[in-house]
Amino acid sequence: MYRALFDHLATRIDAETAHRLGFAGVRVGSRALPRVRSAGVHAMGIDFPGVLGLAAGFDKNAVGIDALARLGFGFVEVGTVTAKPQPGNPRPRLFRLPEDRAIVNRMGFNNDGAEAVARRLARRTRRGVVGVNIGKSKVTPESEAVEDYRTSARLLAPYADYLVVNVSSPNTPGLRDLQAVDKLQPILAGVRGEIGDLPLLVKIAPDLADDDVLAVADLALAEGLAGVVATNTTISREGLSERTEETGGLSGAPLRERAQDVTRVLRQRLGAGPTIIGVGGIATPQDARDRLAAGADLLQAYTAFIYEGPRWPARLSRLLSEERYETLR
């Protein structure tokens, strides 16, 4: 039913409008659903109810965390949140590529700002693992990036189970330049000074060369990070069967192979300790198995959720939970 509605209705309207309407439906409809039970995962000192989480970008403003958890996500990463509220890039800025099971977005960190999101998180009464993803405000010059990230961290850390520094979105000018180790180190150190022992991760782009991935891994070890989120969207259009002239970050199935490779490279360098959250092109049970085998401890998805519908996270979580139970027997 969902596939028919998506193909014949959702694809006829603007993608961002469809997202807004669909998210509203999730927040209302999920109230009637029982919580999905799955095998838990312990990582970063946190007990995650399940291995599959929702990647940042879907719930930018922390308005539907509990509804999304009821659909079967073991954790929800909200954001990306910036220190200053910002409208993002002009619309249209979200595009579906159904033949490739992919999405192109150039949203530009549209969000209500760290103060507003912090107030919203403070009002939550339900429990559940919540990560917060923070990025640099577009109006903030690179010379003031450290303080910008510190402001967001200071406001949001009290309400997060873990925090992610995002320096890898292609939709904020100059942001990816901050992945260079000499620029990233002071940001991570500044954020760490604000959040104490809260688990801190960095989210990297799939477009980094392997040597740069290794450099980030070495920095993560040197700074004592809890882990790495691998990966963000890609600016590459390699492997697309559906031609698009739209700029922005590509997510979904075409990202799978590179995200898998980055996960493997990271795990070989990081060793067994730090957590890797694998994200990018995960849609099927085999995708999930492959990413875990490559070294991921936890998984995240976004694009597959859009294409497969609200029952998809529960189906995948249940299957992974059953397989893990059988392995442990």
| Per-residue model confidence as pLDDT tens digits over 259-273 | 999 999 999 999 999
Q: Which domains does the chain have, with CATH numbers?
A: 2-328 (3.20.20.70)
- Global confidence as pTM: 0.92
pLDDT tens for 200-216 read 999 999 999 999 999 99
CA-CA distance, 84 to 66, in Å (whole number)? Answer: 25
Q: Contact, 240 vs 191, CB < 8 A?
A: no
User: How far is residue 328 from each of residues 38, 321, 323, 324, measured CA to CA in Å?
Assistant: 14, 11, 9, 6
Answer yes or no: are the C-beta atoms of 103 and 94 closer than 8 Å: yes
Element housing 300 (H / E): strand 298-301
- Check whether 56 is labelled as a binding-site residue: yes
Strand boundaries in 107-259, DSSP class E: 129-135, 162-166, 200-204, 227-230, 249-252
Give, in order, the Cα–Cα distances in Å from 268 to each of 220, 225, 261, 271: 13, 16, 11, 6
User: Which residues, at least 6 apart from 12, have a Cβ–Cβ distance to it below 8 Å?
Assistant: none
Annotated binding residue at 3? no
Q: Is 171 annotated as a binding residue?
A: yes
The question of whether 241 is a catalytic residue gets the answer: no
> Which residues of the chain register pLDDT less than 50?
325, 328-329
**Residue 244 in marked binding region:** no
Write the pLDDT tens digit of every residue in 223-277: 999 999 999 999 999 989 988 999 999 999 999 999 999 999 999 999 999 999 9
Integer Cα distance of 96 and 105 in angstroms? 9
Give the Cα separation of 182 and 219 in Å (integer): 10
pLDDT value at position 38? 67
Q: Which of 169, 251, 317, 321 is catalytic?
A: 169
Distance separating alpha carbons of residues 274 and 264, to the nearest angstrom:
13
232 is in an annotated binding site: yes
DSSP 3-state assignment of 10?
Answer: helix
One-letter identity of residue 2 = Y
- Does 302 show up as a binding residue in the annotation? yes
Q: How far apart are CA 122 and CA 27, in angstroms?
A: 19
